[in-house]
Amino acid sequence: MNTAIVIDTSREIPDKWYSLYNIYPLGYVIEDSSGHKHVERTQIQSVRTSELVELACKDRKSTLLAPSIKDFVELYTYLSENYDSIISLHSTSITPAVFENAIVAKKLVSEIVIDIIDSHTFGASSGIFTEELAKFIMEAKNINEIRKEAISLNKHISSIILSKNDQLKTIGLRKGSWHTFFTSAFRPYVLYQKLHGNWETIKRGRNINSFVSEISKRVEIVNRAKEIKTAYITHHGALSKSVRKIKDIVSNTNIVETNPSLVTHYLLGNNYVDFAFL
């Protein structure tokens, strides 16, 4: 299949995957407190997320804007010149406005076959989903095979997130824009785990060392039961110091470290660790 993959940059993947797997990202826009708009995507397959994450840290009144229908139409049309089909990966649960914009854009572009796949993965786990599905697409014979693999990946990818966001179960990009989410220094950290599609709150508190020990314990239990194939990790802020300890848990596994996405940053706040495995 001569297929291009379109993602929005809520997905945590290294830049090197773009050209390797024919992945084309659609970026977000930050509107700062003065009304000026900063575009994440600078050109096809090029993004500058890290600069905009830092801008969001400094400007607490900034707003995140989703990729528009026009953005999707332009990219789909561009790809129709060189590809026979497009697989567009987005999430109805994490970024529903983006998913809806992709659906509308698909109806407006008739030059190419477009299939939109819903993934409920988020942050680091969305990186695993994208990479594994991209590898599968390169060998797949038809769209039904791809959809079955996507369903399987959605079920089997697990995530552990440590942040101060106590609304992870309900928050999502429900509209075209989204105000930054910054948590109070006095609010405790929350440790979440997602298994088989459901988020569970594991622990609350301020002792980072005990959180790292809890993550270690849970991952070691999984590691004893089955071989962890791949682990993705992304982090930001003060919790970056804890990342080495977490990575040591799965030192024999293929570990991919990615930069924070704008969407992950807006959802989780200034300090977080997002660890996922398959």
pLDDT, mean of each 10-residue run, the chain (278 residues): 90 88 92 88 70 84 90 95 95 89 96 92 92 94 91 90 80 61 74 80 88 85 82 85 79 83 84 90
Which ranges in the chain are annotated with CATH 3.30.1180.10?
158-277
Structure tokens at 236: 């930001």
Q: What is the pLDDT of residue 42?
A: 57
Pairing of strands 37-39, 41-43: unpaired
**Helix (H), strand (E) at residue 224:** helix 208-225
Q: What is the pLDDT of residue 108?
A: 97
Q: What is the pLDDT of residue 76?
A: 96
- Write phi, then psi, for 84 (nearest 5 degrees): -85, -25
Q: What is the pLDDT of residue 174?
A: 56
Q: What is the pLDDT of residue 81?
A: 94
| CA–CA separation, 27 and 45 (whole Å) | 10
Classify 3-155 by CATH class: alpha beta
Which ranges in the chain are annotated with CATH 3.40.50.10170?
3-155
Q: What is the pLDDT of residue 182?
A: 60
The 8 Å CB, 24+ separation contacts for 136-145 are 137/1, 137/3, 137/5, 137/21, 137/87, 138/1, 138/21, 140/1, 141/1, 142/1, 143/85, 143/115
Q: What is the pLDDT of residue 180?
A: 65
Measure CA 21 to chain center.
17
Inter-residue contact 189 to 163 (CB < 8 Å)? yes
Q: What is the pLDDT of residue 196?
A: 67
Structure tokens at 191: 């440790």
Classify 158-277 by CATH class: alpha beta
**Helix (H), strand (E) at residue 186:** none
